[in-house]
């Protein structure tokens, strides 16, 4: 009988070769639906609005086109050739096809084919950070020098459902590469995962379903708190050691509460808290917050990011910004400029753009 080999006590994920973010890019579509419009149509204006407004993709946009936009911004900052990418991974819960990769389309459009891994990731709102952890592994093992991880969504909100106020569109792309070329070095990641069915969409269903308040304490708060407190404990840090933090942001309330519970101050999460002006961008939500933080962070700043995906799990990352941020930041459009680029639409236009009137 063989002995069971005990695992090392450190449960953090750390690559053998130091890895960081070499380039990052965001994308937010231009259309905005005020939450008051949803309330006007569905509750005669009577509702506590969870956000101000959400971003809505145009008629010719989907996760593929939006991923390409964000990835091009990331490549501009990374200053590498698309052919240097050895992986293009797209995390989303609104992939345009059930069978056929989004990632091949994105890789082709970027010019990253054919010597490349391509694959789509699905883990509700943490598909993007799952792709990032995998990219860290690919680069950290030495198998590749550069890998592209994207989290992007055009979230589906059932008409009249509580989620329709917040189900937004947008996301971000990250080129992961060697630490010595990075604008932020990732020290460690940690993931906390259980089978907790708080939110789901079955095959052929157009809109997701959710367990109402079950999505709160047992799902969002439990997983983010466990992931965050574990990575803080195992890295010997506390909230005070970080200049910035960003948490998955399905609405305004949840990330502010979990941040406060973990000891973070409002100022630490303010730059990354974008949900009230673009909505919940699902697989893009935590990571687009990270792009907004990188847009203003100083060399030496430490950042904690914790995503959450229903089903359920959280990925936590700790990272330190390097001097390279100063030369890279302005090579592509800043996240705040995407947010400022705004065309307000009414509910009827939203219904048309999102294909909610089905004619057959």
Partner 1 sequence: MTDVVIAGIGQTIVGEHWELSIRQLARLAVRAAIDDANGLKPEILIVGNSLAPEISHQAHLGALIADFVGLQGIEAFTVEAAGASGGAALRSGFLAVASGQVDVALVVGVEKFTDEVGSSVEAATTTAEDSDWESIHGMTPVSQAALLMRRYIHEFNVPRHAFSKFSVNAHANGALNPNAMYQKAITDEVYNKSGIVSDPINMFDVASIADGAAAVVLTRSECLPKSFPHRQVRIAGSQTSTDTLALHDRSDPLTFNAAKMSVERACLKAHINPIQVDFFELHDAYSIFSALLLEAAGFSKRGSAWELAISGGIEPGGCMPISTFGGLKARGNPGGATGVYQAVEAVSQLRGEAGANQVLDARRGMIQVLGGPASVAITHILEAL
Point out the residues that are catalytic: 93, 125, 248
Q: Name which position in 101, 211, 252, 263 contacts partner 1 (CB under 8 A).
A: 211
Q: Is residue 194 within the footprint of partner 1 (CB under 8 A)?
A: no
Nearest distance from residue 285's CB to partner 1, in Å? 23
Nearest distance from residue 211's CB to partner 1, in Å? 5
**Shorter beta-carbon distance to partner 1: residue 83 or 218:** 218
Nearest distance from residue 32's CB to partner 1, in Å? 26
Q: Name which position in 217, 323, 327, 346 contacts partner 1 (CB under 8 A).
A: 217
Q: Is residue 159 within the footprint of partner 1 (CB under 8 A)?
A: no
Which residues does 231 contact at the CB level (< 8 Å), separation at least 6? 12, 188, 189, 190, 304, 306, 316, 317, 318
Q: Name which position in 214, 230, 276, 329 contacts partner 1 (CB under 8 A).
A: 214
Size of the site for partner 1 (CB under 8 A): 8
With contacts defined by CB under 8 A, name the span among 134-142, 214-222, 255-263, 312-320 that binds partner 1. Answer: 214-222
Nearest distance from residue 214's CB to partner 1, in Å? 6
Nearest distance from residue 188's CB to partner 1, in Å? 29
CA-CA-CA-CA torsion sign (161, 162, 163, 165):
positive
Show the site string, 39-58: x = touches partner 1 by CB under 8 A, - = not. -------x-x----------
**Shorter beta-carbon distance to partner 1: residue 101 or 159:** 159
Q: Is residue 3 within the footprint of partner 1 (CB under 8 A)?
A: no
Nearest distance from residue 251's CB to partner 1, in Å? 18
With contacts defined by CB under 8 A, name the span among 101-109, 209-217, 270-278, 321-329 that binds partner 1. Answer: 209-217
Q: Is residue 10 within the footprint of partner 1 (CB under 8 A)?
A: no
CA atoms within 13 A on the CB side of 21: 33
With contacts defined by CB under 8 A, name the span among 82-90, 114-122, 211-219, 266-274 that binds partner 1. Answer: 211-219
Q: Name which position in 119, 218, 252, 263 contacts partner 1 (CB under 8 A).
A: 218
Q: Which residues bind partner 1 (CB under 8 A)?
A: 46, 48, 211-214, 217-218
């Amino acid at each position: 009988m063989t002995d069971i080999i005990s695992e090392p006590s450190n449960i953090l994920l750390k690559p053998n070769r130091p890895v960081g973010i070499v380039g990052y890019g965001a994308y937010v579509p231009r259309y905005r639906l005020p939450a008051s419009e949803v309330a006007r149509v569905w509750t005669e204006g009577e509702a506590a609005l969870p956000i101000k407004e959400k971003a809505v993709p145009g008629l010719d946009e989907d996760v593929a086109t939006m991923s390409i936009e964000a990835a091009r911004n990331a490549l501009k900052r990374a200053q590498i050739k698309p052919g240097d990418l050895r992986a293009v991974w797209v995390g989303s819960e609104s992939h345009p096809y059930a069978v056929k990769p989004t990632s091949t389309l994105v890789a082709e459009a970027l010019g990253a084919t054919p010597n490349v891994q391509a694959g789509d990731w699905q883990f509700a709102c943490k598909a993007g950070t799952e792709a990032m952890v995998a990219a860290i592994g690919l680069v950290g093992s030495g198998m590749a020098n550069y890998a592209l991880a994207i989290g992007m969504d055009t979230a589906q909100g059932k008409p009249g459902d509580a989620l329709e106020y917040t189900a937004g569109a947008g996301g971000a792309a990250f080129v992961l590469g060697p630490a010595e070329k990075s604008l932020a070095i990732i020290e460690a990641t940690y993931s906390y995962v259980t089978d907790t069915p708080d939110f789901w969409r079955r095959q052929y269903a157009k809109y997701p379903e959710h367990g109402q308040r079950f999505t709160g304490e047992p799902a969002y708060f439990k997983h983010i708190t466990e992931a965050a407190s574990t990575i803080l404990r195992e890295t010997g840090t506390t909230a005070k050691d970080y200049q910035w933090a960003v948490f998955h942001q399905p609405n305004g309330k949840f990330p502010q509460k979990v941040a406060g519970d973990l000891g973070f101050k409002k100022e630490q999460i303010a730059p990354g808290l974008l949900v009230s002006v673009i909505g919940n961008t699902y697989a893009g939500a935590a990571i687009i917050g990270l792009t907004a933080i990188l847009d203003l962070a100083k060399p030496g700043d430490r950042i904690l990011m914790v995503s959450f995906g229903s089903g359920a799990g959280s990925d936590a990352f700790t990272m330190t910004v390097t001097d390279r941020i100063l030369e890279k930041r302005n090579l592509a459009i800043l996240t705040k400029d995407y947010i400022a680029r705004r065309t307000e639409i009414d509910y009827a236009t939203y219904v048309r753009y999102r294909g909610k009137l089905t004619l057959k």
